[in-house]
A and B are shown apart, each in its own frame.
Chain A
Amino acid sequence: MSRLTAATRAHARSFVRDPVNLAFLFVFPPVVVQVYGQAMERFPELSLGSDPGTVGSIAGTLFATAFVAGLIGLFQLLSARRGDERLLIAGFGRSSLLASRLVTLVAATLVVAAVSLTVLSLGTDVAAPGLAYAALVAGGLTYGLIGVLVGTLLPRDLEGSLVLVFLADMDSALSSGVMAVDTAVADVLPLHHPHAAFSEAVTEGSIAAGDARAVVAYLLVLLAAAFFAHRWVAGDGGERA
């Protein structure tokens, strides 16, 4: 077994041992998608020309995926702080460790995106399921990498989680079109382009090239930042408080 595989398996086992993680993967997305959809049906004035229930369900699907992926990114980083420097000393390569963390993050994001999209598709016609899944995974990975960065700057589970909750909640509210915001800041928020891409894929069956490019560019920048974050955390084998 390669070191990458061994490290990834160890991270995955550690992840699934916590019932809260499993609840976030399999219970949280269905609840959020349903609640957002049902609740938004009450707000026809905010629907911006679309069916409010669909607007709410789409927003809930992306929010659930992004938030859960963000938490996983955060906890992967916190776990790296506790254990990866020891693995470095034991001979694991830095790139293998980072790759194992990212593989775990990607795998969990694929799962939560699949759960969320399945729940959405039970009540909403998804025009292009493959594109919608890709956009959803991209939104999830965006927040997964943001979770990594939050864990670097604020290496505590509770405080980091709170930052992610408020960031994802505000980002979702401003990016989803639920509120017709009049600030340009909304255009550069992490979920702005993933939401546009996901919404287009669900309702129109295609994704605008500009949104796709922006999503990929955002991901690449965050990936580079996550690399440096992991290097900072586990880079020299020394503990960083």
Chain B
Amino acid sequence: MSRVGAAVLAGAREYRRTPVLLALFVVLPLYAVVVFRAATPDASVTLHLDSTVTTSMDAVMVSVMTPMAGALLAGIAGLFLTRSAADADGRLVLAGVRPGEMILARLGLLAGVSALGTGVAVAASLFTFDPVQPGWFVAGALLVALIYGMLGVAVGTVLSRLAGVYVLLFGPMVDVFLYQNPLGTETPAVAALLPAHYPLDVAMNAAFTGGADPGTFALGVGYLLAVAGLATAVLARTLR
């Protein structure tokens, strides 16, 4: 097995040994998708996407909360992977593992956790919600999770575990639920700068209009590459 593969497996084992992280795989989709869906009234609402759409309130809630659940899971995972691995990774580098291999292993594991978290959230949502373009909806939701996962890595290098968790809980909640929510009639200027802006636009149009825009998705990928570069830089600094 390659050193990168071994490091990914070791990280996954460490992740598995942290009960709170495993519990979040169940609790977050339940909380964000199932509970909110149950509490949402039967009502029709108008969405202001690339075209104006009238749909049910519960479909909107589920479609917004699904990417949010993935973002919460990935952000907290990024934070924990960074904080729990800092000491051990430094020793592995001293033992001869290249820093690039360690960073690749950490970010690879994070990508896997993000995909798994998004998959669980999407699976929970599909019981009550049927997106027009499921593939693009999942892609948008996954992109939100990956971006927040990378931000979790960066946050993990500057904040304590508890403070970082608060930032990574309230950040996606405010960004996804308040600023990117398609129920809003206008988009504030700050919303376009926030991490979930482009991926949510893709996911919401995929969910309700069938008009997901590959150009917007590409902008989201660009945002991801930028925050991945930031995460790589801060991880590299911890391995020096």
Contact = CB atoms under 8 A, between A and B. Distances in A.
A187 interface: no
Contact of B174 (A39, A158, A170): A39
12 contacts: A23-B163, A39-B178, A42-B178, A42-B181, A42-B186, A42-B188, A43-B181, A157-B162, A158-B161, A162-B169, A165-B166, A182-B41
A108 B27 CA distance: 30
A159 interface: yes
> Which size class do B's interface residues fall under?
20 to 34
Interface stretch (B32-40, B99-107, B126-134): B32-40
B184 interface: yes
Contact of A43 (B20, B35, B39, B183): B183
Contact of B39 (A35, A46, A181): A181
A162 B32 CA distance: 13
Contacts of A50: none
Q: Is the interface of B mostly helix, strand, loop or mixed?
A: helix
A46 B47 CA distance: 12
B41 A181 contact: yes
Nearest to B41: A182
A166 interface: yes
A20 B163 contact: yes
Given A43-B181, A44-B185, A158-B162, A166 B42 contact: no
A35 B162 contact: no
Contacts of B163: 20, 23
Count chain A CB atoms within 10 A of each CB in B42, B161, B174 and give the residue with the most: B174
A36 B174 CA distance: 8
Interface of A: 20, 23, 35-36, 38-40, 42-46, 157-159, 161-162, 165-166, 169-170, 173-174, 179-183, 185-186
Interface in B19-64: 20, 24, 27, 31, 35-36, 38-43, 45-46
B38 A36 contact: no
Contacts of B20: 158-159, 162
B39 A174 contact: yes
Contacts of A43: 181, 183-185
